[in-house]
Structure 1
Amino acid sequence: GQRAEVSVKGISGGNLMGKGPGAPPEGDLAVDIEIRYCLSKADQGVYTYCIFEHRPEYDAGDFTEARLAAKLQAFFSYMHVDDDRTGPYPLFNEGWDKYVYTALQWKNRAYGFSSPEKGLGWFMMLPSPEFLSGGPTKAEFLAHGIDPTVLCYWRSSHYRGASLILEKGEEWSKVVGPLFIYVNEGQSPEAMWNDAKRRLKKEEQAWPFDWVKNAAYIPAEKRSAVYGQLILNDTPAEVKKAFQAEIYVGLTRTPYKINTPEGALRLNWHNDAKYNQYWTKSQDPEGRFYIQDVPAGKYTLSAFADGVLGELTQSDIIIPESGQIDLGKIVWTPVRRGKQVWDIGLANRSAAEFAGGDAYFRPGQALRYAAQFAANTDYTIGESDYSSAWYYAQMPYANDSSKIIAFTGMSGTGEETSRNIRFTMDKACNGRAWLRIALCGTGADPRFDVLLNGELIKQIDPGISDGALYRHQIHGIWRELELAFDAKLLRAGANTITLVVPGGSLNNGVIYDYIRLELHEK
């Protein structure tokens, strides 16, 4: 035959399965687990996939950590994570920990190690990201370790992770994969990695694989192609109606609630790991999109785009079993509270455009912040450039005794830091003003104060911490914070809005995505 497959299956029978990281000693939850390995004659690698099944008679349970991990021989000394992190391992020496190697799963789907001495490469490939949790903005481990380690982490608690909770009596199944473990040869690490990227494109084109036989893995003939066009209807006349760069459009499970020990939790594509997600990236300025291989079902359409603050959602999207499904023109009217007065950054769910944002993964950001900026800094609207004058994160101000501590960020405490946003108003105002702040990550304590012309308006508590600041990421939990205030507080002439992170642990603070001031005058 052309293909051989081996299956190893564990039947729970009500017993708790899984004893990996985060699971209690007696096991994780009652779920049947089947792992399959597939080898065909012509391939330079092995496919593997896992099938989980929760039967109605099984008790309720909560997945903790769920991943495929491979530990390689030490001669695989050259790491390949993404374009910024490829080279002899370890890539960084200062305060090393494995979180410096986290990256966006959805974007980076061919990664691993190579051996320059032996001319061998070992790469993990995800032909489709549909089984991953957290959507296109989820950061996760791809590779790390003193012993070279490569991972597919489809459900985790990192950066607040995603939830997968099963109820007693619930019938549920999920196929994770197939993944492709690709082994190649080459004259250099770069040649082997480029070859792996080319092979990934071939695997993407073959998805869904016709040789996978399981009821939870939907074959190609029972999937649809979905297309349509987003019409950007941003109200201010000065705002461009065309999309600026990348648009992400997804069909995902309709948001739902689960019960946790801490209370009810609402799950959507950001934090759901139970159901598959079907996303596409478009760069069409007219907003056209095309999503391949969507199984039949009822979905919520979600979209976010560079340069557009907020997110589009449209519920009750019904996809039939097969065909070409035209969703037509979908009008997207982003929320505007009033006329835009000014903004800082680019609304893109990332901090990469700010000073320091291109090296977010290097340990010791608090030290770099203190080396490049004063504790009290000014940013003048119309004059300052956010790529050099606005540091991507704001945290307490480090002193000379501060040190990098692996896995826990920074040691010690720092002083209060202030960002003074200076701007001019042509006249006194009536009505309401809105300061809209989008964050793409937080530290251990993300609270900060907002002052207008020296007077406290409000202390903002962004809520739950995702740890992105001290675990070297700019893709934590995206959130938008709105602060409304009486427009009479804005003066004719010079004004200053100050953002203050109080003194304390150097692991406290926030990571900025975008800031905008809007005014609705009576």
Structure 2
Amino acid sequence: MGKSGLNSIFSWQLVAIVQLFFLLIATHSHNSDRHKHGKGRRSHAGAGVHLLQQNHTVSLTNGIVNVLLTIPDGNVISVTYKGGDNLLETQNKENDRGYWDLIWNKPGAPTSMDKLEGTSYKIIVQNNDQTEISFTRTWAVGSARMPLNIDKRFVMLKDSPGFYTYTVLERLKGWPAFDIQEGRFLFKLQENKFHYMAMSDDRQRVMPMPVDRIPGHGQPLDYPEAVLLTNPTNPQLKGEVDDKYLYSCDNKDNKVHGWVSSDQGVGFWMITPSNEFRTGGPLKQDLTSHVGPTLLSMFISTHYAGEDLALKFQTGDYWKKVLGPVFVYLNSDPSAKTNPSVLWNDAKQRMQKEVSSWPYNFPLSVDFLKSNQRGAVKGQLLVHDWYKNKMAEPGASAYVGLAPQGGPGSWQFENKGYQFWTQADQHGNFAITNVVPGTYSLFAWVPGFVGDYKHASDITITPGSNIQATNVVFVPPRKGATLWEIGVPDRTAAEFFIPDPNPSFKTYPYRAPVEKFRQYGLWARYKDIHPVTDQVYTVGLSDYKKDWFFAHVPKNVGPRQFAATTWQIIFDLKSIAKGSYTLQLALASANAAEVQVRVNNPNSAALFTTRLIGKDNAIARHGIHGLYHLFSIDIPGTQLVVGKNTIFLTQARSISPFCEVMYDYIRLEGPA
């Protein structure tokens, strides 16, 4: 072989060696990155669940999803799907990507955040079918931390495209008094990947970026959450208002929401299969997803209700509650890159599967009760309104629930126990299943009727019980025959006139128009519609859908100056009967407000006042209801006249534009 041949062989060998060297480096780097993100354990679909613990992290993987958590804190620092990149925001610190938290305070002290970080880590079970791990923290007397024992769990199942998490909270008698304002589990996703958010069939959209909210890109409005997009990264969003409360919904509807990464065709979803552990009942409103991109599961909050929904513990109180489990679901579809709603449709189907599987049979905490440890109650709800029907009629579509013992309507203020609700069929038949053992009051409210129902007898649920409730008859509040009515008794103000928003605020072009109340600045539109005089409604001539403004707000009379407003209801009476008439005044919401009622003399002393009422803040948070109130107001017949009469409703509080009441329904009844 000649010299040139040897040189050729040597050159070829040198190239091969160099290529092999760089291949080994690349392989090592790739494996190191996999270990860094908790993917070091061999796994593939169908291979079962694996756990890998190294240094101060632990990863759960089943070949589909990989979750990496810190030890002993229990914060989620990485979530990957089918071997892809970390879907959480890697620019954030490790304790600011995925975590549980509670906002709490000692009585009279400022609030602080506790991320429920554990001090001890334990493997509860680890096998081919399931892994469950626990991060715990036990409160010590004298500690400055929130006085709760915490057991935070994460569960992964074989072949499951996601993972579950739940937390058991406990406080013992004798521990210090404190309050909890908010409790949640959340993720902060990669902001450069997730731009499309979906929370219902109609409420899906491309979202702004976090940078769009800062000066130079956004202009702060009347409160910090609301920002006008003046120079957003996506020019199509210019002129819109971003506000996390635009994406709130009722607990009963808050079952699945999330984000889609259109460049990858991957969806990241929060599925809440039950409302039993949430505060405030089925009509309580709360946050879902918002700019961040942030994904929330809210368990405790004062949103749309105020301090009444905060948990307040005294020294002698014992309390224990399981929050969750919730399911973090991931999915993908190549077509989602151009049609992200494909993944929403799939997530809805998965949600239905999770709901039908409740209560889950796999969580291993003894505090989470399985189906065979629970009971049920069923019955038929009837409604007897003598003015409408001589006999009781079925309570069609009634909401019926078990909640901790209390008076009628107390369920909407309940925050420490569990609630179990269902909706009756058209015949008023209801069945409430999978109820945690205990003694409850049976509550209901019926669309089309004012007031709240509470069964005369409390219901005691035991494991395996199936109770037949009897004599479930709701007699709605009524003293006399209906003379006139305004609105529909459904606990919202949605049927009243809701104006278009200020033209300077652009509305996102959803696939179908969303509810008009989900717009910024509607409170200011009252003055535009009634610039000089206040609202006048004439019974028999006016139409509440066009002539009754949906929120009774003060009027702007100058820079940061607001004045009380007085609405008039004009009606005729052909004769006056002896005795008292009754004004049924149902409120769908109230915030720092006071409704005063006068009859035929706007300058007289108020016949009735609610006094200062409400902390719902519903109008500022784009809601159409908050907490429900019903007032039955006696009007002496001597204050009425034959012919024209006027009821004056004054909303007397005006320290801010957000002082408001939303009327649900108003009815004048004749004497009994």
TM-score, structure 2 as length reference? 0.68
**Distance change in 2, residues 1:57/1:435 (3 Å):** closer
1:153 — aligned with what?
A: 298
**Distance change in 2, residues 1:287/1:216 (3 Å):** same
1:273 — aligned with what?
A: 415
**Distance change in 2, residues 1:165/1:171 (3 Å):** same
- The answer on 1:393 being equivalent to 2:551 is yes
Where 2:663 maps in the other structure, the secondary structure is: strand
CA displacement at 1:276 relative to structure 2: 0.8
1:100 — aligned with what?
A: 246
The amino acid that maps onto 1:72 is L
Determine which of 284, 287, 290 is the counterpart of 1:138.
Answer: 284
CA displacement at 1:15 relative to structure 2: 5.4
CA contact (8 A) 1:142 1:152 kept: yes
Cα-Cα RMSD: 2.5
1:30 — aligned with what?
A: 147
Where 1:192 maps in the other structure, the secondary structure is: helix
Q: What pairs with 1:227-376 in structure 2 (closer than 5 Å)?
A: 227-237=378-388, 242=393, 246-255=397-406, 268-282=410-424, 284-314=425-455, 315-356=457-498, 358-373=515-530, 375-376=533-534
**Distance change in 2, residues 1:239/1:497 (3 Å):** farther
CA displacement at 1:247 relative to structure 2: 1.4
1:4 — aligned with what?
A: 131
1:176 — aligned with what?
A: 323
The amino acid that maps onto 1:138 is K
CA displacement at 1:329 relative to structure 2: 4.0
CA displacement at 1:513 relative to structure 2: 1.0
The amino acid that maps onto 1:212 is P
CA displacement at 1:504 relative to structure 2: 5.3
2:113 — aligned with what?
A: none
Where 1:131 maps in the other structure, the secondary structure is: coil
2:165 — aligned with what?
A: 48
Q: Distance in 2 between matches of 1:13 and 1:449?
A: 51
CA displacement at 1:454 relative to structure 2: 3.1
**Distance change in 2, residues 1:156/1:237 (3 Å):** closer
TM-score, structure 1 as length reference? 0.87
Q: Distance in 2 between matches of 1:57 and 1:442?
A: 36
Where 1:516 maps in the other structure, the secondary structure is: strand
2:114 — aligned with what?
A: none
Determine which of 580, 601, 612 is the counterpart of 1:432.
Answer: 580
* Greater shift in the superposed pair: 316-325 or 79-88: 79-88
Deviations 1:150-176 (A, max 9, x none): 112211222315232334454432111
CA contact (8 A) 2:194 2:259 kept: yes
CA contact (8 A) 1:429 1:490 kept: no
Q: Which protein is richer in strand relative to its size?
A: 1
1:216 — aligned with what?
A: 367
**Distance change in 2, residues 1:62/1:500 (3 Å):** closer
CA contact (8 A) 2:399 2:445 kept: yes
Q: Distance in 1 between matches of 2:181 and 2:660?
A: 27
- The answer on 1:449 being equivalent to 2:605 is no
CA contact (8 A) 1:244 1:307 kept: no
* Greater shift in the superposed pair: 302-311 or 486-495: 486-495
Q: Distance in 2 between matches of 1:221 and 1:102?
A: 34
CA displacement at 1:128 relative to structure 2: 0.9
1:14 — aligned with what?
A: 141
**Distance change in 2, residues 1:55/1:505 (3 Å):** closer
CA contact (8 A) 1:243 1:305 kept: no
Q: Distance in 2 between matches of 1:201 and 1:462?
A: 43
Q: Distance in 2 between matches of 1:331 and 1:398?
A: 46
**Distance change in 2, residues 1:169/1:483 (3 Å):** closer
CA displacement at 1:84 relative to structure 2: 5.1
Where 2:321 maps in the other structure, the secondary structure is: strand
CA displacement at 1:196 relative to structure 2: 1.1
2:631 — aligned with what?
A: 481
CA contact (8 A) 1:209 1:219 kept: yes
Deviations 1:439-496 (A, max 9, x none): 12123x3123323223444344252432222232223221112321211222212222
The amino acid that maps onto 2:139 is S
The amino acid that maps onto 1:354 is F
* Greater shift in the superposed pair: 347-356 or 500-509: 500-509
CA contact (8 A) 1:249 1:303 kept: yes
- The answer on 1:384 being equivalent to 2:575 is no
Q: Which has the higher contact order (CA 8 A, sep 6+)?
A: 1
CA contact (8 A) 1:345 1:386 kept: yes
The amino acid that maps onto 1:7 is S
- The answer on 1:119 being equivalent to 2:265 is yes
Identity %: 33
CA contact (8 A) 1:303 1:312 kept: yes
1:20 — aligned with what?
A: none
**Distance change in 2, residues 1:242/1:372 (3 Å):** farther
1:261 — aligned with what?
A: none
Where 1:491 maps in the other structure, the secondary structure is: coil
Q: Distance in 1 between matches of 2:238 and 2:471?
A: 48
**Distance change in 2, residues 1:489/1:323 (3 Å):** same
**Distance change in 2, residues 1:318/1:431 (3 Å):** same
**Distance change in 2, residues 1:243/1:344 (3 Å):** farther
CA contact (8 A) 1:296 1:322 kept: no
Q: Distance in 2 between matches of 1:131 and 1:462?
A: 31
* Greater shift in the superposed pair: 429-438 or 202-211: 429-438
Where 1:62 maps in the other structure, the secondary structure is: strand
Where 1:369 maps in the other structure, the secondary structure is: helix
Where 2:186 maps in the other structure, the secondary structure is: strand
Q: Which residues of structure 2 form unaligned runs of 5+?
A: 1-127, 209-236, 500-514
The amino acid that maps onto 1:448 is V
Where 1:270 maps in the other structure, the secondary structure is: helix
Determine which of 193, 213, 236 is the counterpart of 2:344.
Answer: 193
**Distance change in 2, residues 1:93/1:14 (3 Å):** farther
1:413 — aligned with what?
A: 561
**Distance change in 2, residues 1:57/1:417 (3 Å):** closer
Q: Which residues of structure 1 form unaligned runs of 5+?
A: 17-25, 257-265, 403-411
CA contact (8 A) 1:462 1:481 kept: no
Q: What pairs with 1:71-110 in structure 2 (closer than 5 Å)?
A: 71-74=188-191, 75-83=193-201, 85-90=203-208, 94-110=240-256
CA displacement at 1:55 relative to structure 2: 3.1
* Greater shift in the superposed pair: 214-223 or 59-68: 59-68
Q: Distance in 1 between matches of 2:521 and 2:168?
A: 41
- The answer on 1:163 being equivalent to 2:310 is yes
Look at both structures and tell me which one has the larger radius of gyration over its CA atoms: 2
CA displacement at 1:177 relative to structure 2: 0.5
How many residues in Structure 1 have an aligned counterpart in Structure 2? 489
CA displacement at 1:253 relative to structure 2: 0.8
CA displacement at 1:82 relative to structure 2: 3.7
**Distance change in 2, residues 1:111/1:157 (3 Å):** same
- The answer on 1:496 being equivalent to 2:637 is no
Deviations 1:351-405 (A, max 9, x none): 1111118322311012233334454222222332222221110112346x77xxx
